[in-house]
Amino acid sequence: MGRHLLLLLVFASIMMSSPANGEVFTDSGLVDIPTGAVLEHGIFGAGTYLAFRQNATVSALQTPSTNLSDVVALRLNFGLFDRIEVGLGHIWNEYASEVSTDRALNLKLQLLKEQETGAIPSVAVGVEHLNDTIFTSDSEEGGIPSSAFLAVSKIFNFPRIHQFSGHIGVGTQRFAFEDSPVGLFVGLSKEFQPAFARGDITLSLEFDGVGANAGMRYITSSGLQVALGAETLNDPDELRYLACVSWTNARLLEQIDETRRLIQQATRLAVEAKRAVSEASE
């Protein structure tokens, strides 16, 4: 746990220079788009993410410079009642050599939850950076406007590639197409559980309304999550690299539930054995 905290502090100590497009690598999302899922009740994820890119100067007389720290954010996401997900964040940005900060409140409500069998997908609605700019582009200088969205997710099962998830949705602001008030976002994700990894690896590919993104997330058995990605792959001049380190209690609760189940099973077997011995002695 101490090592996890140290990693988070290292990332949080980095300064930044321009706002990110949105919340990246959230616990219930992909690289840069939301999905129809929400965190279950009592599950939380805490950590930090950063976005950085290489900016080359236009002048041929100048040496290309590299800006290795565009955005850094600390965040906490937690689930309530298996239907609501709340996100709290603190984001550092720099404008004209002046550092500014933003506090973010994200809300997400799941309308439909996909079952293990059936055709009904997971459907969720939400707002990122909740304030009064959901449908307008007006915001304070350096501020991040709100983005409302509706996301739909479905798990598909095919013979050769087995399970993968498809995601589609509509949203305002950062999801919008140019002058249009709303836009479409889509994504694909595939989860792997290789024996050597001792955890889960998720690969994802998406389009967030601005460009194509790709990412990989690794979740260890202890709950530590490390994610790497690239944003706006279709535009080399705007290519942004993403990194995230966080920790979730989901794996810990799974281990507690498994331990409780084993204890109950052992107790039941002990009672049955005692009953059998008692009956045999009569």
- pLDDT tens digits along 205-242: 999 888 899 999 999 988 999 999 998 888 888 888 99
**Does residue 29 belong to any structural domain of this protein?**
yes
pLDDT at residue 58 greater than cutoff 60: no
Question: What CATH number did the domain enclosing 90 receive?
Answer: 2.40.160
Return the pLDDT at 136. Answer: 56
Write down the pTM of the prediction.
Answer: 0.78
Region 161-176: mean pLDDT is: 89
**Does residue 268 belong to any structural domain of this protein?**
no
> How far, rounded to the nearest angstrom, does the alpha carbon of residue 134 sit from its chain's CA centroid?
21
Given pLDDT bands bounded at 50, 70 and 90, which one contains residue 251? Answer: confident
pLDDT at residue 144 greater than cutoff 60: yes
- CB-based contact 37:110 (threshold 8 Å): yes
Given pLDDT bands bounded at 50, 70 and 90, which one contains residue 135? Answer: low
Partner residues linked to 185 by β-bridges: 169
Return the pLDDT at 226. Answer: 95
| Mean pLDDT, the chain, whole residue set | 80
**Does residue 98 belong to any structural domain of this protein?**
yes
pLDDT at residue 246 greater than cutoff 50: yes
pLDDT at residue 14 greater than cutoff 90: no
pLDDT at residue 36 greater than cutoff 90: yes
Domain that includes residue 136, residue range: 2-248
The pLDDT > 70 percentage for the chain reads 78
Return the pLDDT at 161. Answer: 66
Return the pLDDT at 137. Answer: 54
**Does residue 105 belong to any structural domain of this protein?**
yes
**Does residue 53 belong to any structural domain of this protein?**
yes
Given pLDDT bands bounded at 50, 70 and 90, which one contains residue 80? Answer: very high
**Does residue 276 belong to any structural domain of this protein?**
no
Region 2-17: mean pLDDT is: 37
From the CB of residue 234, how many other CB atoms can be counted at a distance below 10 Å?
A: 11
pLDDT at residue 55 greater than cutoff 70: no
Name residues whose C-beta falls within 8 Å of residue 157's C-beta, 6 or more positions apart in sequence.
163
Return the pLDDT at 169. Answer: 96
Given pLDDT bands bounded at 50, 70 and 90, which one contains residue 63? Answer: very low
**Does residue 271 belong to any structural domain of this protein?**
no
**Does residue 162 belong to any structural domain of this protein?**
yes
Return the pLDDT at 105. Answer: 92
- CB-based contact 53:240 (threshold 8 Å): yes
Region 115-143: mean pLDDT is: 73
- Number of structural domains, the chain? 1
pLDDT at residue 260 greater than cutoff 60: yes
Higher pLDDT, 101 or 79: 79
Name residues whose C-beta falls within 8 Å of residue 200's C-beta, 6 or more positions apart in sequence.
191, 192, 193, 218, 219
CA angle 224, 21, 58 (to 5 degrees): 115
